[in-house]
Amino acid sequence: MIDDYFTQTEKYLNNVPVDDRKELIQFYKEQALDAQLDSTQLEEKYGTPKNFARKLKIEYFIDNDNQTESSTKNKISGLQLVAMVILGLFATPVLIPLAVVVVLSFAALIGGLLAFIFAVYAGIVATLGVGLVSIFVGFGLFGQSIASAIFYIGLGIFLTGLVIFGGSIVVNLTKWLFMQIIRFAKFIGRRFLKVKKGEQA
């Protein structure tokens, strides 16, 4: 019975909001009934209910992620999306070699990104530290040399200002780099995990 197939698929769509889940199932069930598919043909076309649900979820969340005005309950975090795409690749036997390449690419990208972020943020903290110490030292030097005091205070203000202006650029750059990783995951999801026409399980 195709009812069983769709009931099982619906169970696996657990993190899709109920209304959207019902609508999604209704759409595909109606298609199956109109095309007069039986449960064997359904499995041949879409795969097991679990695999079908996985692909539907990937498409659903990629689609919602692209609609900036969507409410947050329809969305998952970028990392969840990446994890969903990787699991989807591993669930499809022919895509396992690609999954391994993608996992290694993600690991390299995220590792590189974390190293970069660590280096940049350590630099920011160090610059801020030197800036604040310079201001402090500058004030301490007023009794001995006004020129030195002004130099150190000026250096301190310059470095602190640099952190304030540079910091926001670095934060935005970090966000942008993470977005590129998510975009890559979405590209992989769209390219390889679509519910294709006449797909074999």
Give min distance, CB of 199 to other proteins, in A.
8
In 3D space, the residue among 167, 163, 85 whose CA is nearest the CA of residue 128 turns out to be 163
Of 62 and 86, the one with the shorter C-beta distance to other proteins is 62
**Residue where the block lists tokens 């993470």:** 178
187 near other proteins (CB under 8 A): no
38 near other proteins (CB under 8 A): no
Q: Where are the alpha helices (DSSP H) in the chain?
A: 2-12, 18-34, 39-46, 49-66, 78-90, 96-140, 146-192
128 near other proteins (CB under 8 A): no
Of 175 and 196, the one with the shorter C-beta distance to other proteins is 196
Give min distance, CB of 46 to other proteins, in A.
8
Of 15, 26, 40, 200, which lies in the binding site for other proteins, with binding defined by CB under 8 A? 26
44 near other proteins (CB under 8 A): no
The pattern of x and - marking residues 55 through 94 that bind other proteins according to CB under 8 A reads xx--x---x---x---------------------------
Q: Residue 55 burial (CB < 10 Å; 0-12/13-18/19+)?
A: buried
> Distances in Å between the alpha carbon of 31 and those of 6, 24, 124, 173, 184?
12, 11, 57, 45, 31
Contacts of residue 176, Cβ cutoff 8 Å, sequence gap at least 6: none
Of 92 and 174, the one with the shorter C-beta distance to other proteins is 92
Spatial separation of the C-alpha atoms in residues 153 and 146, rounded to whole Å: 10
Report the interface residues with other proteins, using CB under 8 A.
23-24, 26-28, 30-31, 33-35, 45-46, 55-56, 59, 63, 67, 194-197, 199
